[in-house]
Chain A
């Protein structure tokens, strides 16, 4: 099976890491060490090899190592199905993050076409209980892993909506101005919705008949106003006819930015938000694995999978099953945990590193 993996990674002045260099092969990567050692920071650095703000959704100014705050750099040599790429992302103090692919300066969005990355972090544990925004973001991340161009549709939609919201707030009456923005929102919004629907279909397909120890989840999309948003013309019309109500509200009340994703524990027929804590986590793991399986089938290579503190929350049977599934996919999964014993079942199927907090920042040892 082909693989997508990081061959070498270097972090300079990134969070707690002053200079950390790793040489890797295609096997899963494990980091263990005490709280605050700098494990999650390494996974965050890898997540920045995809477009966006990374797995903590942090601002670019948070990444630079304090107290120096000199700016930071992440460099990775990756292998995607036998092809080598050099990725570099960096920011000077007070500046935006820039990206270089194979030595050439590129927009951030270009990263999504080179390497697919999916992740699960502890902050997502309450995703089924909290607001729709987190679920939408989870869905959009999965969608981008399948369709990198989804990022462009999301950016275009957001931009047009923020413009329209400003017109609404300022009570601007120029109908032509609204019309051009609404048409843009209609086009990009319909693309967003059809991408999301395609993603749900792929996930459903990847879950049926799959041999996995994790419970299947049925996903569906819902709009608070109960409307379907899959045609550009229809969405544009809805925005136009909703303009008066939107003017009163001072913002856009209908659109893909308002939809919610519902999850159901398939086998039991129980809504995700009513499942036990452990079941909710298992559903997320199941979706991330389904996402990875489907990508492996599509692109020929499993994505990079970042699993922050996932092992610690599983009983030993589930943990072993997770390791077997990851290895079966041939995925380079990046995992963290406080104790090395969590990963003994992996044996030499993984590359294990110990992370410690040293004098000059985080240190990583074989």
Chain B
């Protein structure tokens, strides 16, 4: 089961499991409890796709975050990376992937219609596309820009982000620099 986790091969999964069993009382027990709790309470925010413990996440509920800026990211890990850097003060929209006809992921699967609705209903002035600099990420960014054309200012993170470099792997300084140097698309 562990070997199915991203980033773990069969060998490292075996090592991790053996390690956990050795440290049964100080690691495995507490980890199992924490996992149980996550399994019971974690859910996707119905508005933005963030993961929290309520139907509408904290960021979407906070009045302060409703500043007219909306940052579009591929997945929750990217949202957390942006939050860690602490430079972005608006709300998010998590796509949950990128456009890919080959994987049967279309605009509906990525909740792009929902994004278009939110831009109107939440009075968004600027949509910041913080998608990875991969081919798929850029296809998706261009697609969203087309969908939103005319209604709102659309910008994307500066291309300091290396090709194929994923947001989640970037350090905070790079993210804030990329955010400051964003440009219209």
Which residues of A are at the interface with B, using a C-beta cutoff of 8 A? 92, 95, 107, 152, 155-156, 159-160, 162-164, 166-167, 170, 172, 174, 176-177, 179-181, 183-184
A163 with B147: CB separation less than 8 A: no
B143 with A163: CB separation less than 8 A: no
Contact flag A163-B146 (CB < 8 Å), given A92-B9, A184-B139: no
- How far does the alpha carbon of A179 sit from the alpha carbon of B147 in the complex, in Å? 12
A180 with B135: CB separation less than 8 A: no
A172 with B101: CB separation less than 8 A: yes
With both beta carbons as reference points, the residue of chain B lying nearest to A166 in the complex is identified as B101
- How far does the alpha carbon of A326 sit from the alpha carbon of B106 in the complex, in Å? 53
Q: How far is the CB of A119 from chain B (nearest CB, A)?
A: 27
> Which of the four size classes fits the interface of chain B?
10 to 19
Contact flag A156-B135 (CB < 8 Å), given A92-B9, A163-B102, A177-B107: yes
The interface residues of chain B lying within 8 Å CB-to-CB of A170 are: 101
Looking at chain A's contact residues, the main secondary structure is: helix
Q: How far is the CB of B40 from chain A (nearest CB, A)?
A: 34
Most chain A C-beta atoms within 10 Å of own C-beta, residue among B10, B107, B136, B139: B139
With both beta carbons as reference points, the residue of chain A lying nearest to B138 in the complex is identified as A184
**23 pairs, CB–CB < 8 Å, chain A vs chain B:** A95-B9, A107-B164, A162-B102, A163-B99, A163-B101, A163-B102, A163-B139, A164-B101, A167-B101, A170-B101, A172-B101, A174-B107, A176-B146, A177-B101, A179-B146, A180-B99, A180-B139, A180-B142, A180-B143, A183-B142, A184-B135, A184-B138, A184-B139
The interface residues of chain A lying within 8 Å CB-to-CB of B139 are: 160, 163, 180-181, 184
With both beta carbons as reference points, the residue of chain A lying nearest to B101 in the complex is identified as A166
> Is B100 located at the chain interface by the 8 A CB criterion?
yes
Which residues of B are at the interface with A, using a C-beta cutoff of 8 A? 9-10, 99-102, 106-107, 135-136, 138-139, 142-143, 146-147, 163-164
With both beta carbons as reference points, the residue of chain A lying nearest to B99 in the complex is identified as A177
Q: How far is the CB of A32 from chain B (nearest CB, A)?
A: 39
With both beta carbons as reference points, the residue of chain B lying nearest to A167 in the complex is identified as B101
B135 with A160: CB separation less than 8 A: yes
The interface residues of chain A lying within 8 Å CB-to-CB of B143 are: 176-177, 180
Looking at chain B's contact residues, the main secondary structure is: helix
- Of the residues A92, A166, A174, contact of B102 by C-beta under 8 Å: A166
Q: How far is the CB of A30 from chain B (nearest CB, A)?
A: 39
The interface residues of chain B lying within 8 Å CB-to-CB of A163 are: 99-102, 139
The interface residues of chain B lying within 8 Å CB-to-CB of A183 are: 142
- How far does the alpha carbon of A73 sit from the alpha carbon of B38 in the complex, in Å? 41
- How far does the alpha carbon of A174 sit from the alpha carbon of B10 in the complex, in Å? 41
With both beta carbons as reference points, the residue of chain B lying nearest to A174 in the complex is identified as B107
Q: Give the 7 A-B residue pairs with the shortest CB-CB distance, closest first.
A: A166-B101, A180-B142, A176-B146, A163-B101, A180-B143, A167-B101, A180-B139
The interface residues of chain A lying within 8 Å CB-to-CB of B10 are: 92
Contact flag A159-B135 (CB < 8 Å), given A95-B9, A176-B147: yes
The interface residues of chain A lying within 8 Å CB-to-CB of B135 are: 155-156, 159-160, 184
Q: How far is the CB of B85 from chain A (nearest CB, A)?
A: 25
- Of the residues A92, A166, A180, contact of B146 by C-beta under 8 Å: A180
With both beta carbons as reference points, the residue of chain A lying nearest to B11 in the complex is identified as A92
Q: How far is the CB of B104 from chain A (nearest CB, A)?
A: 9
Q: How far is the CB of A15 from chain B (nearest CB, A)?
A: 23
The interface residues of chain A lying within 8 Å CB-to-CB of B106 are: 172, 174, 177
- How far does the alpha carbon of A179 sit from the alpha carbon of B136 in the complex, in Å? 14
Q: How far is the CB of B10 from chain A (nearest CB, A)?
A: 8
Q: What would 17 more interface pairs be, CB under 8 Å, given A156-B135, A159-B136, A176-B146?
A: A92-B10, A160-B135, A160-B139, A162-B102, A163-B99, A163-B101, A163-B139, A172-B106, A174-B107, A176-B147, A177-B143, A179-B146, A180-B99, A180-B142, A180-B143, A180-B146, A184-B139
The interface residues of chain A lying within 8 Å CB-to-CB of B163 are: 152
The interface residues of chain A lying within 8 Å CB-to-CB of B9 are: 92, 95
- How far does the alpha carbon of A184 sit from the alpha carbon of B140 in the complex, in Å? 11
- How far does the alpha carbon of A95 sit from the alpha carbon of B135 in the complex, in Å? 23
Q: How far is the CB of A29 from chain B (nearest CB, A)?
A: 34
With both beta carbons as reference points, the residue of chain A lying nearest to B163 in the complex is identified as A152
The interface residues of chain B lying within 8 Å CB-to-CB of A164 are: 101
The interface residues of chain A lying within 8 Å CB-to-CB of B136 are: 159
